[in-house]
Structure 1
Amino acid sequence: MRVRLQGIVLTLVALLVFGLGIPLAITIAAGAQQKLFLDRLTDTARFASLAQRPLLDNKPRLIEPDLHRYTEVYSVQVLVFDQDGKQVASSVGPNGARLDSHAERIDGPVHEALAGRRSQPGGVLMPWDATPLVLAEPVLADGEVHGAVVTVSDTGSERADVLWWWLLLAAGGILAFTLALAVAIPVVRWILRPVHRLDDATGALVASVVSGREAEPVGESGGPPELRQLGRSFDRMAESVSGALAAQRAFVADASHQLRNPLTALKIRLGNLEGHVDDEPAAADLEAARVDAGRLHQILDGLLSMARAEASGGELDPVVLDDVVAERVADWSVVGQARDVRLVVDTDGGGARVCVPPRGAETILDALLDNALKFTASGTEIRVAVERDGDRVRLSVRDHGPGLRPEELERARDRFWRSPAHQNVPGSGLGLAIVSELVAHSGGELELDLPEGGGLRITMTFPAV
């Protein structure tokens, strides 16, 4: 936007400079041409008056001393023609030699003067046009034309003056353009400063809200009053959104925590009833109630884990991923042996370090290994791999279970979502949602894919530290 605004300002300045400079330059050239024309026309008319008597007495050479002196002083050639168009006197050359180099330019004005017409102003005097100024004045006596006087003036001096004026105008235009640029840059920055802060705050708002941190206010950082008001409105909106989500998370955490006590009591009471219910249908209902209570307890544990993951904020701790993987795989290997599933660790041994929320790496591995052990068939393996690639570290967990359908991969991260094919498998559907939340807090990326050989592979990419 800054480039566009500066472009608009500079375009307007350029249009103003050209809109005023070009007409002014043409006016200067036209003024110089008009001044030269009037000056030479006056001299030509004076020589026409002086040539009247010599032409009537048929002694045109009597005027040549005046013509020579005029040419010596002003460097302007003067020619005198009789009424037949024959040159009879000249200010240059022996015997009144004619200016052959300008013969074509002289013939036209001579014919017009002999016809009784005076020369008219020509075009605008341009610095690159070296054409001399040719003026002709009829010699009149008693209303009759008896000849013509022609002046041929070099325009070099006037063209040089025009060129200098044009260069001065160009320098003024460049100076104006430079000043406009010098003024436009800070003005545009002043205008866009709150816009940039709003843009940064908008991008940070999502991360702040998701992580549970307080959104950084835009404040009044200068700029136009309208944009400062917009910044204040944004701060109020961000505060409201952050407060609403914080209240929602607090409610989930508090509700989950408060429900655990009566749920635990309920499970104990259901356990105490075991052996005291003789009726077979009632015993079946008691067992179903115990299963439902256990499932509800598992859901509450998942909600608490999700609340802790969302409330982890911006606090990140560096951990050696290889060490965490080795520790968690060792603990879960006991469960794997009981289910005849082998847990394999494949690392590059580089000791890669990543930053995750406190206990975040353990929570991620526990959720993924729990899911993998639920679905992996006996006699197969679960492979946990850690690989460093430049400034990124990849952690992947691959099982050999039934996997998911390709269209289900994106939905697998949703809260409480479970594949229709896995409804009979115990679980709350919060495991991958918690992992996704923790990975996002760590600045990483989560990807699910279906590798060759079946099963599901979950890959997380973290920035290395």
Structure 2
Amino acid sequence: MRRRLVISYLLLMVLVLIALETPLALTLATRETDRVRADRLADATRFASLAGPALRGGSPGPLDSELRSYDELYGIGAAVVDRDRRTVVSSASWQRAVGTTEAQAAALAGQQSSGPESVWPWVDGPIVVAVPINDGGEVLGAVVTVTPAAAVRRTVTTWWLLLAGIGLLVVLACVLTAFGLAGWVLRPVTELDAVTHEIAEGDRGARVQHQLGPPELRRLAASFNNMADVVSDVMDRQRAFVAHASHQLRNPLTALRLRVEELGPSLTDPQGRTEHRLALEETDRLALVLDALLTLARAEREENERVTVDAAEAAESRVAAWQPLARHRSVTLRLVTSGAPTYAWTVPTAVDQALDALIDNAVKFSGAGGEVTVTVARRDGGVALEVRDTGPGMTESQLGQATERFWRAPDAQNVDGAGLGLTIAAVLVDASDGRLTMRPGEPRGLVAGLWFPAPDEPAAGPDEPVTGDDEPRCGSGGPGAGVGGAGSGADEADPPAPDRLPAAAG
């Protein structure tokens, strides 16, 4: 936009210069030509006053010496012709040139003649002046002078070059002024664009300086800041409401569960015991949803603080934490790493919570006899983690909906979980400038991938490919996740294990 403004200013200035300098250049050329023509007419008129006796008496007299001296002094050829156009006397450099015939004819008709009207730098040709020789009202002949125009052309060219130089300086000054003016006008727009990108990248405290630029843009900047304040306040209120509501509802929910548990021993009817068990399961499910909402609100409220995390160590810890649940469900859970530290630059707990969500889903949907492999390696200038399972997998449409809040595949509605695990993982990965990808595995299952950027000064070695030939390091023991342990990790010590939203996945 700045370039367009500068070009428009420059075009306007060039048009103004052309409108001003073109008439001035023409005037200068005409004025210089008129000055020379006036001098030649005065000289020719003086020669004509001396030529009368020469034409009547047939003797040039003093006219011959006058023309010769004139030619030697000024380099201008001159001649006197009679009414029959015969040359009576002439100077040494006299020679007929273009326009002399017409000038002689006009002079013999009793009129003074001079031409051209203007001398142009690109046109050759002399200045021809002819004056009639009168005696008692009778035209006896004419005096013709031929003046070389090279000096006039040089003078005109000098004037035009001076005008061009002045115009160039004016254009340069206009360009500098235009850049300054455009910068002043567009500085609020540029800053507004930068602040918009900063806010989009998560810095909700970024604001525009509203004291720059013209008044209209200052008002726009102030309006934008007010809008950003309102939107930020609304988002804070919304997240605070979700966090507070989730936290406050857990207390009455816990009390309700205790009261329902106390009713258990008093129930003797098998149907009543079944309803009692279902009521307890529903309270557990509601607690799971509240914990997941609280975790999501906290994740979205992060101000993108970054820390250096050893992804290999975090993966080993999470695999060990999920081993009890994997053994309970007869699923083989293993870890494949190079054994060396693999550092990532992420928001706090991003690696842990994302792995918890993916491992929980993989173990939950792999089924008895299934396998879940967690792989950590350096790749593409960062850290890549993969969770590969042997579950049913997902369709393309399910992959596109996997990170939507509360979305669950039709055939996974009865599986424990709140439907927020992958959403929380996606929020944390995005806040870390990382990537969360999911694709079908071969021949079946799901491959969920995480990529996090490396710190500015990585402590690890060169990139290592992800292969299955490395000696796996499988975690064991660790804090138990419990059967169906898919909590959000908001306020409890159990590892967060949000459910797999789509139907399959490994």
TM more than 0.5: yes
Higher mean C-alpha deviation, range 405-414 or range 337-346: 337-346
CA distance in 2, matches of 1:236, 1:397: 44
Structure 1 equivalent of residue 105 of structure 2: 111
Q: 2:212 aligns with which of 219, 222, 235?
A: 222
Residue 410 of structure 1 aligns to a residue whose secondary structure is helix
Task: Quote the Cα distance in structure 2 between the aligned partners of 1:147 and 1:31.
Answer: 30
CA-to-aligned-CA distance 1:131-164 (integer Å, 9 cap, x gap) = 2111222333444433222110012222222222
Change (3 A) 1:353 1:15: farther
Select the structure with the greater relative contact order (CA < 8 A; seq sep ≥ 6).
2
- Worse overlay, 245-254 or 442-451: 442-451
> Does residue 161 in structure 1 map to residue 151 in structure 2?
no
Structure 2 residue 61 is matched with structure 1 residue 24: no
Deviation at 1:120, TM superposition (A): 4.8
Pairing of 1:174-253 with structure 2 (within 5 A): 174-208=168-202, 214-253=204-243
Which amino acid is 2:130 matched to? A
1:270 aligns with 2:264: no
Q: Which of residues 430, 433, 436 is equivalent to 2:423?
A: 433
Deviation for aligned residue 1:10:
2.6
Structure 1 residues 16 and 104, CA gap change in structure 2 (3 angstroms)? closer
Looking at secondary structure, tell me which structure has more helix per residue. 1
User: Structure 2 counterpart of 1:151, which letter?
Assistant: T
Residue 289 in structure 1 maps to residue 279 in structure 2: yes
> Secondary structure of the equivalent of 1:424?
coil
Superposed displacement of residue 437, structure 1: 0.6
- The counterpart of 2:129, out of the listed 119, 126, 135, is 135
Structure 2 residue aligned with 1:53:
53
Q: Supply the distance in 2 between the matched residues of 1:144 and 1:455 (Cα, whole angstroms).
A: 122
8 Å contact from structure 1 (residues 348, 388) kept in 2: no
Give the Cα–Cα distance (whole angstroms) in 1 for the partners of residues 153 and 281 of structure 2: 105
Q: How does 1:301-450 map onto structure 2 within 5 Å?
A: 301-349=291-339, 351-450=341-440
* Structure 2 letter corresponding to 1:80: V
Query: How many angstroms apart in 2 are the aligned matches of 1:346 and 1:123?
Result: 96
Q: Which moved more, 1:314-323 or 1:273-282?
A: 273-282
Q: CA RMSD in A?
A: 2.2
Q: Residues 461 and 27 of structure 1: is their aligned pair in 2 closer, same or farther, counting only changes over 3 Å?
A: farther
Name the residue aligned to 2:471: none
The aligned amino acid for 2:31 is G
Instruction: Tell me the TM-score normalized by structure 2.
Output: 0.84
Structure 1 460/18 Cα, relative in aligned 2: closer, same or farther at 3 Å? Answer: farther
Task: Provide the identity percentage.
Answer: 40
Contact 1:13–1:180 (CA under 8 A) maintained in structure 2: yes
2:84 corresponds to 1:84: yes
Q: Distance in 1 between matches of 2:182 and 2:198?
A: 24
Contact 1:263 1:297 in 2 (8 A): yes
- AA aligned to 2:199 is L
- Distance in 1 separating the partners of 2:31 and 2:348: 84
Q: Distance in 2 between matches of 1:314 and 1:82?
A: 105
* Aligned residues of 1:404 and 1:419 also touching (Cα < 8 A): no
Q: Deviations over 1:291-319 (max 9, x none)?
A: 22121111111111101211222222211
Name segments (4+ residues, structure 1) moved above 6 Å: none
In the alignment, what sits opposite 1:35?
35
> In 1, are the aligned partners of 2:97 and 2:126 still within 8 Å (CA)?
no
Q: Indicate yes or no: 2:139 matched with 1:145.
A: yes
- Asked whether the 8 Å contact 2:2–2:186 carries over to 1, the reply is yes
The two structures have a TM-score, normalised by structure 1, of 0.91
Match of 2:497 in 1: none
2:481 counterpart residue number: none
Match of 2:118 in 1: 124
Q: Distance in 2 between matches of 1:386 and 1:124?
A: 87
2-side partners of 1:454 and 1:148: how far apart? 114
Distance change >3 Å, CA 126–CA 293, structure 1 → 2: same
Q: Structure 1 pair 349/126, CA: closer, same or farther in 2 (3 Å)?
A: farther
| Distance in 2 of aligned mates of 1:9 and 1:134 | 46
Tell me if 1:13 matches 2:9: no
Aligned mates of 2:408, 2:56 — CA distance in 1: 123
Distance of aligned partners of 1:19 and 1:385 in 2 relative to their CA distance in 1, 3 Å threshold: farther
- For these two proteins, the number of residue pairs brought into alignment is 455
